[in-house]
């Protein structure tokens, strides 16, 4: 859609007073993709969540990106509102960004390639950055990463952040920069809401979307920095670039504990949480 944003405004911005009045008159415009401040005022607050505990509320455009640094015990909910969101996520230890998501360990340590409820997102330092605490989608992928500028140029004609068909990596690069991080700080990312399965011969089979309205919840197990790009999955079979909004709400909740089934779901997981607890205890983080 091409909209003339200047319609009815041109020639009324000749003086500073007019320009200021024009700018102020725009303040209450509501659009599909925007953050809600304060977060407790979100028009889409999750049912059953005390709105005073919401710390982050935002609809990320399709395509778009966002990022945040969050306290331990924050519960983060992603929602694929229209069925064509794909949340490409990278998580870091907020205090030490060299510690970050390691997808090989995230799959190898639990002996499971497919992420779902109870799956830990592990760092390369043997600790749990976040846990997938709930999942109504079950269509996720930890093998295929994001699209690149080169791939999007070939497929869609453009892939720059400013284009209509930005590559996931270009968006993650910007999200990283906003948190003081660079290209070295982007390891392979995990994708939520678009599924891929491995056939016996190794072929990657697209299982796609679970449809609109599904959610995934993460729990931050330590203070984390999280980068999110919403862009089509690299194996998305649609010819056109199709990306719909991604809604995010985060609220103050509880970190995982030995009362949660995933804490002791396997000896590997129990030791991962034990390592995390050891780090937090020594660091003075409760």
Partner 1 sequence: MTVTWATYEADYFDYSGPMVPGAVVLDHEIAPRSGWSAVVSAGTVLTLVDVGGNQSGDCLIYAAADTTERYSVPDTLVAQRNAYLVEGSVLMSNEGRPLMTIVGNEVERQDTIGGACSKESNTLRYGHHTRFHHACRENFLLEGARHGLGARDLVSNINWFMNVPVEADGTLGIVDGMSAPGKRVALRAERDVLVVISNCPQVNNPCNDFNPTPLRVIVTDPSASVSETDRR
Residue 239 interacts with partner 1 (CB under 8 A): yes or no: no
Taking the C-alpha atoms of residue 16 and residue 35, their distance in angstroms, rounded to an integer, is: 28
120 DSSP 8-state letter: E
Question: In the complex with partner 1, which residue's Cβ is closer, 62 or 110?
Answer: 110
Residue 158 interacts with partner 1 (CB under 8 A): yes or no: no
Residue 109 interacts with partner 1 (CB under 8 A): yes or no: yes
Residue 169 interacts with partner 1 (CB under 8 A): yes or no: yes
Residue 51: count of CB within 10 angstroms of its CB: 15
Residue 157 interacts with partner 1 (CB under 8 A): yes or no: no
CB of 72 to partner 1, least distance (A): 20
CA angle 51, 52, 57 (to 5 degrees): 60
165 DSSP 8-state letter: S
223 to each of 2, 47, 63, how far by Cα in Å? 41, 25, 27
Residue 146 interacts with partner 1 (CB under 8 A): yes or no: yes
Taking the C-alpha atoms of residue 277 and residue 163, their distance in angstroms, rounded to an integer, is: 44
Please select the residue that binds partner 1; options are 98, 157, 212, 213, rule is CB under 8 A: 98
User: How many residues interact with partner 1 (rule CB under 8 A)?
Assistant: 51
221 to each of 138, 170, 179, how far by Cα in Å? 22, 28, 19
Please select the residue that binds partner 1; options are 20, 271, 281, 283, rule is CB under 8 A: 271
Question: In the complex with partner 1, which residue's Cβ is closer, 34 or 104?
Answer: 104
Residue 107 interacts with partner 1 (CB under 8 A): yes or no: yes
Residue 104 interacts with partner 1 (CB under 8 A): yes or no: yes
Length of the chain: 286
Taking the C-alpha atoms of residue 167 and residue 184, their distance in angstroms, rounded to an integer, is: 17
89 to each of 25, 43, 49, 137, how far by Cα in Å? 36, 24, 23, 16
Torsion angles phi and psi, residue 226, rounded to 5: -125, 130
Task: Map residues 115-134 to x or -, x wherever contact with partner 1 holds by CB under 8 A.
Answer: -------x-xxxx-------
Whether residue 272 contacts residue 124, with contact meaning beta carbons closer than 8 Å, is answered with no
Residue 103 interacts with partner 1 (CB under 8 A): yes or no: yes
Torsion angles phi and psi, residue 103, rounded to 5: -70, -35
Torsion angles phi and psi, residue 90, rounded to 5: -125, 135
CB of 254 to partner 1, least distance (A): 23
CB of 265 to partner 1, least distance (A): 13
Taking the C-alpha atoms of residue 195 and residue 141, their distance in angstroms, rounded to an integer, is: 5
Question: In the complex with partner 1, which residue's Cβ is closer, 82 or 268?
Answer: 268
CB of 256 to partner 1, least distance (A): 15
Residue 143 interacts with partner 1 (CB under 8 A): yes or no: yes
Taking the C-alpha atoms of residue 219 and residue 168, their distance in angstroms, rounded to an integer, is: 24
CB of 98 to partner 1, least distance (A): 4
CB of 49 to partner 1, least distance (A): 31
Kindly identify the residues of this chain, within the stretch 177-236, that bind partner 1 according to CB under 8 A: 182-189, 197-198, 200-204, 234-235
- Give the interface with partner 1 as residue ranges (CB under 8 A): 97-99, 102-105, 107-109, 111-114, 122, 124-127, 143-151, 169, 182-189, 197-198, 200-204, 234-235, 267-268, 271-272, 275
């Amino acid at each position: 859609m091409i909209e003339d944003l200047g319609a009815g405004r041109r020639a009324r911005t000749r003086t500073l007073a007019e320009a200021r009045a024009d700018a102020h008159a725009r303040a209450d415009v509501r659009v599909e993709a925007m953050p809600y401040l304060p977060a407790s005022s979100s028009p889409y607050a999750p049912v059953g969540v005390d709105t005073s505990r919401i710390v982050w509320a935002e609809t990320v455009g399709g395509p778009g990106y966002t990022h945040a640094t969050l306290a331990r015990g924050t519960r983060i909910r992603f929602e694929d509102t229209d069925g064509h969101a794909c949340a490409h996520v990278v998580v870091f230890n907020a205090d030490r960004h060299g510690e970050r998501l390691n997808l090989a360990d995230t799959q190898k340590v639990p002996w499971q390639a497919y992420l779902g409820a109870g799956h830990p997102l592990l760092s390369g330092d043997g600790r749990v950055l976040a846990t997938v605490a709930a999942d109504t989608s079950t269509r996720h992928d930890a093998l295929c990463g994001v699209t690149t500028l080169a791939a999007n140029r070939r497929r869609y004609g453009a892939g720059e952040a400013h284009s209509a068909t930005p590559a996931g990596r270009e968006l993650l690069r910007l999200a990283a920069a906003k948190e003081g991080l660079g290209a070295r700080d982007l390891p392979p990312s995990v994708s939520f809401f678009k599924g891929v399965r491995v056939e016996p011969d190794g072929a990657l089979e697209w299982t796609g979307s679970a449809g609109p309205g599904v959610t995934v919840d993460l729990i931050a197990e330590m203070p984390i920095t999280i980068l999110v790009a919403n862009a089509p999955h690299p194996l998305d079979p649609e010819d056109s670039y199709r990306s719909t909004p991604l809604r995010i709400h985060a609220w103050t909740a509880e970190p995982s504990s030995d009362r949660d089934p995933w804490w002791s779901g396997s000896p590997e997981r129990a030791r991962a949480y034990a390592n995390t607890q050891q780090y937090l205890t020594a660091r003075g983080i409760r």
